[in-house]
Amino acid sequence: MKSLFVLICVLVLTFSILVETSNFPSVNAQARSDLEITWYSDISLCYSALKNHTVDITGYPLTYEQFEDAQADPDVQLASYDENGIFEFAINNNYSASEDPNVRSPTNELKIRQAIAHLINKTYIIEEILPNFFGNIIDVPISNALKGWWNNSVTKSNYPYPYDPDTAAALLASLGFNDTDGNGWLNYPDSWPGIHGADTTSYPLEVLYTLSHEDRKLVGEYIVYQLENTLASANWPEEYVGGGFKCHTTTDPMIQWMMILHRTYHIYVSGWSLSRFPPTYMYYMFHSDFWDPEGSNYVTGREYPDLDEELEKAYYAQNISSAIFHCKNAQSLLVEKYCVCVWLWNYRSFNAYRKELAGVVSHQALGLDNQYTYLNAYRTDHPEDPIRLGLNLIPEKLNPLYSMWFVEWQTLDKIYPNLMSVNPYSLEIDQPWIAQDWEVGTWFDPREGTTKTKITFWLRKDVGCAEPQTGNIVDYFTADDFEFSLWYIYAYDDAWIWDTVMDVNHIKIINDYQIEVYFDSNSLWQIYDVNSMPLLGPRKLLIDKLCEENSATFTGANLTKVLGCFEYQFTTDDVVSVINVTVNGIPLNENEDFYIRAGYDIQQHNVFVNLTTFSPTDNITIYYYRAIPNGADGFYLGGNLGLDWTDTMYSYGPYYPISINPTAGGKAVLKKNTGFFLETPLLGETDWHWYWEGTTKPRSGYFKIDIYDVVRATTAYCSRGNGLYDLKWFPGADLDASDLSHIGIYDLVTITGKYAQTFGTPPDA
């Protein structure tokens, strides 16, 4: 590490001098490229299009055969990323099975679980069982994609259970396991509850694995071999006769399911697809509250109250740093103290792309198809031409409320951005995007007498909205557009993305660029739900297309007192936006005299909450926009109302559509939104780290080219993107057009030539 640091320092100094004194080609930021998306009916056609140079990026993970073919093609490069899913040996820690309550389960004993862990050679699994390059070792229930959450005291070289069959044998011997009858199989100790001295052939380990997933099948066969054979041939302590631990395997999925439900298994080769935040899934995987038939926790039993405590503190944390701290504590307990399971690998996936494409960003969990790539990349063969993305499926819909498939969002997310972003190489780091800043706080709900989450967002003032087809900038994103987006989505509880807004109670607009969102529960993770909401708009153009005006009148006598406030559900409509409210003809001010709430109790946004005083005879009239029942659905937003993408697909994102033909071989032609706030980043940004500036909210900040960008490139120096895959290859540092598929001196000059320059600062900073 020290020598690498010295090398980096020398290179920075050298390149700084070279930039000033030498005639290297000057590499400026390319004008941001347009984008052309082509849909194919299967992955082989999409890959062939890449080979034939009709697409530049394959937007799906390669098959192993395509991965091998790409390595043999000098015009094709590879970019790797980690899938956010994990595979493990799930171990049943419970004391006994319900059908045999007096027999202690062998895997209830810590030393047996530790012995199993010492019998597993994870390197062998990665290198010999999984396809070459396609797996990454994990030691905790967190993918390499989220390794910023890892507790490094129990991972990699600090993992407490290195492969060592002799240690496994010693652990079992210390419990009294021994081959007392000489048949080659271990016997339980005489003191073992319920099966005193019995042979393991009578009470074997129940091992479950599937035949439908080749890698899990092979890993299941591997652990059986290790327990039955490798353990028997290990060096056992003196006076002990070694033997195998007999296993009984079950591969029938229905029988497996019943064994998991009734906790009659011992080891299960399981796989999980997980969310971005480990506390939000580890709580359900390992907390004893979920140790029930059909519960999500089928490993821990109810014996680890300290683990429950850390999981709760991580899940209910009030800030991300506290969540990370307690999540790491939970990992220490899961691995070192209790050896609850043995975590094995996550898959590494690969995208292929043409060598002529420079400046791509391989997102740690998404690969090349991400917003940073399209802001930064350009075609070196034809810089003025669009980047061409190939997708392997045809969309069923392109509707931001109802599209449910990943391939559909690979188009929609170019048009509908989110409030916040994430560092593409460190997914635990939140970064500003449409929202310039945010703050998580609380509010007190007098109706329920409980404290709940409140989030304040400050919006950038330079987020332009491009009209479909023309690209004309017709508006800039404000709090009104945010409010419209949220309540319009909330009105359709059958929408695929309804869960992003379902916890909102009410909203308060402070000014055009500041908004407060009040939630119906208290959780740090609410911010990430609402952040997943696509931003629609502009309100002034869409609301009359997608909604209808209506009104309601009621009297002060209709208001019902509910624990500290008066309220009334004044309509059965789903209210998207209030036009005006009067009492006896005198205007009322929203958020001063009243607000409209939703809530878990009604799941509609239509309850008038009074913040002032009315007499029973006062007449209150509300004019409002209501969502049209079933109106949002259709192939495009508003399709059921006869609307097309040309009517509703306005864009606050980096691109706007000029034509869409969603058929096999059809294309979506997207042009760059000239009103997008990051119109042209500096070519040379490689770590995409945001630097906050100031402490008073809203804070400002910027992207900056600095030593960390140089480090990113230097650690990949001399690596190549084509040919036999090089684990050092870092696509984000291949910037220069004159030396493609290679991280070399011109790439470093590109970076150091812009050293200390910044971009992306919000206006009025």
- Residue 597 — φ and ψ, nearest 5°? -115, 165
- pTM of the entire structure? 0.90
Amino acid letter for position 393: L
Residue 765's pLDDT is what? 56
Distance CA 201, CA 431 (A): 56
Q: Which helix (H) or strand (E) holds 519?
A: strand 514-519
User: Per-domain residue ranges for the chain?
Assistant: 1-30+681-765, 85-300+334-343
Length of the chain equals 765
Residue 2's pLDDT is what? 47
Q: Which of 381, 356, 358, 353 is nearest to 750 (CA)?
A: 358
Quick check: helix, strand or coil at residue 59? coil
Per-residue tokens: 351: 């995208």
Q: For 455-586, where are the alpha helices, taking DSSP H only?
A: 479-490, 526-531, 539-546
Residue 19's pLDDT is what? 41
Residue 484's pLDDT is what? 99
Taking the CA atoms of 87, 93, 94 and 97 in sequence, report the sign of the dihedral they define: positive
What angle do the packed helices 305-315 and 278-286 form, to 10 degrees? 150
Residue 293's pLDDT is what? 78
Q: Which residue has the tokens 């140079």?
A: 53
In whole angstroms, how far apart are CA 283 and each of 280, 312, 313, 451, 543? 6, 7, 10, 22, 40
Distance CA 178, CA 456 (A): 64
Judge whether 73 and 722 are in contact, CB under 8 Å: yes
Per-residue tokens: 127: 């290198």
Residue 318's pLDDT is what? 87
Distance CA 363, CA 375 (A): 13
CATH ID of 85-300+334-343, from 3.30.1360.120, 3.30.465.10, 3.30.200.20, 3.10.105.10: 3.10.105.10
| Helices first, then strands: H and E counts in the chain | 19, 33
Q: Which of 601, 606, 643, 596 is nearest to 401 (CA)?
A: 643
Residue 30's pLDDT is what? 60
In whole angstroms, how far apart are CA 658 and each of 231, 393, 541, 633? 65, 21, 18, 22
Distance CA 569, CA 624 (A): 14
Residue 590 DSSP class: B
Q: Which residues of the chain have pLDDT under 70?
A: 1-30, 765
Judge whether 639 and 630 are in contact, CB under 8 Å: no
- Residue 326 — φ and ψ, nearest 5°? -75, -30
The per-residue pLDDT for range 574-594, each reduced to its tens digit, is: 999 999 999 999 999 999 999
Distance CA 690, CA 703 (A): 5
Strands 205-208 and 267-273: parallel
What angle do the packed helices 64-71 and 43-51 form, to 10 degrees? 10
Cβ neighbours of residue 1 closer than 8 Å, sequence gap 6 or more? none
Residue 632's pLDDT is what? 98
Percent of the chain with pLDDT over 90: 90
Distance CA 339, CA 574 (A): 50
Q: Which residue has the tokens 């005083």?
A: 613
| C-beta neighbour count of 707 within 10 angstroms | 15
Judge whether 59 and 391 are in contact, CB under 8 Å: yes
Strands 387-391 and 35-39: parallel
